[in-house]
Amino acid sequence: MRTADLDVLFSKLSRLFSDGPQAEVFSRLLPHAVVRLAAGRPVTPVELAAATGRTAAEVGRLLQQLPGVEMDDAGNLVGMGLTLRPTPHRFEVEGRSLYTWCAFDALLFPVILGKTVRVRSPCPGTGAPVRARVSPAGLEELDPPEAVVSLRVPDTFENLRGSFCGFVHFFRSAAAAADWLRSRPDAVVLSVDEAFALGRRLAYDRFGVGSS
């Protein structure tokens, strides 16, 4: 895409993750949640409270109010972008097999974690997998090299997994995404490098990566 188009997409994404109190809370908790979920186990409200300067009761209450957040029966966090529960998007970090809610998460989280990961996700157009090795600095491997990422930015933060994540996939090529796009005129496709660049910019702008 043209740089101007990427700037527009970034502005929409940044606005999405600051769209009201829920979005602001999600943005503040997300990096702490992702770092702890990457260990491959549920995260207690006490752990998140210690990381964010809130009380455990407050964190537990906030998590229950956030759209799409996954909790276990004990009230621990098991999914917030990065999840312990299987999805189509496999995310391997330091030998642990985890999952993400969408393709964009799989490109964003290496920046938040500061770690290199392997990603495997099926192309909705062909059923065949897209594989990538992603570092905090960018793509190191991509198979096939012509793979793309679909993206649709909703107007509001409500139902994040349904209105945003449900439209963000890896496709093996732009041609493989063509039929999918025809029925979703408000979606676009980006190269995987472009999608990574958007994620990295968002990590610094909205999710506090690099801040003291």
- What are the catalytic residues? 102, 105, 165
- Other C-beta atoms within 10 Å of 94: how many? 11
Sign of CA dihedral 176, 177, 178, 182: positive
Q: Could you give the C-alpha distances from 56 to 28, 44, 88, 197, in angstroms and in order? A: 15, 8, 32, 34
Spell out the residues 6+ positions from residue 86 whose beta carbon is closer than 8 angstroms to its own. 99
Using an 8 Å Cβ cutoff, are 94 and 100 in contact?
A: no
Q: How far is CA 167 from the centre of its chain?
A: 12
Peptide bond into 144 cis (omega under 30): yes
Instruction: Tell me the HSE value of 184 on the side-chain side, using a 13 A CA sphere.
Output: 19
Neighbouring-strand partners of residue 151: 188
Q: In terms of Cα–Cα distance, which of 112, 107, 162, 174 is closest to 140?
A: 107
Tokens of 27: 């943005």
